[in-house]
Amino acid sequence: MKKVIQLALLLITFVTVAQSNFEGKIVSQQTMSSDDPQMQSQLALMGIMSMTQYVKASNSRTEIKSPMTGDIVSVYASKTDEVLVLMNNPMMGKTYEKSSKGDLEAKVGDQKIEVNKGTETKTILGYECKQYFMTMMTNGVKMEMELFVTDEISMAITAQNIAYASKIKGMPLLTKGKVNQMGMVLNITNEVTEIVKETVSDDKFDMTIPEGYKAADAVKQ
């Protein structure tokens, strides 16, 4: 059960993006469901996950709020090519993880990912989106996804998407995923609900670790 939930959380920051000609805010929501009663009861506690992303040039910041997982902030700074993840979890407290692009690539190098382009198109929030299908194997668990992607905004490197960012040229505005582990099926939908072009402060992409946060590895020990 725990591994399935962890895989589902990969989609939370799947749409963290950046493009040199886009600056603004992107809002999305993620819902999860399952036919398995035990899993569904846990998912009900998580509720709807809301995500706000701030994009400026090749920098991005994702802010996630969930009743179960707490607050998660993921910042990518193109100048240093680093990703900083801040987690304020009800159980674990305030923790952080900071990694370079090279470190992230080494961690996900053994993932098996297959991407195929579909034939359908959708217009979402005024953006024309093309259909893609992606299959990913992580820790022996298979995840299948259908994505509708606009090529007007492109994906930046994050801790969650580094394994496949180069395989999909654009930003998914709608993602539907399915995970099956030990007969339990988890359905995941992530949909962008608002895209606002506006000025974003450089402070959003500050890589300084806030006071009170401890390294995630130290907390686990």
The whole model's pTM is what?
Answer: 0.79
Beta carbons of 158 and 74 less than 8 angstroms apart: yes
What pLDDT is stored for residue 14 in this prediction? 44
CA 172 to chain centre: 11
Q: Which CATH class is domain 2-220?
A: mainly beta
User: Tokens 């990518």 label which residue?
Assistant: 76
What pLDDT is stored for residue 109 in this prediction? 52
What pLDDT is stored for residue 163 in this prediction? 57
The stretches of 10-133 forming alpha helices (DSSP H) are 37-46, 101-107
What pLDDT is stored for residue 110 in this prediction? 55
**CA angle (92, 82, 6) in 5-degree steps:** 40
CB hemisphere CA count around 134 (13 angstroms): 27
Report which listed range, 108-117, 124-133, 171-180, is most confident. 124-133
Chain mean pLDDT for the chain: 79
User: Tokens 């990703």 label which residue?
Assistant: 83
The string of pLDDT tens digits covering residues 192-216 is 999 999 999 999 999 999 999 999 8
In the chain, domain spans: 2-220
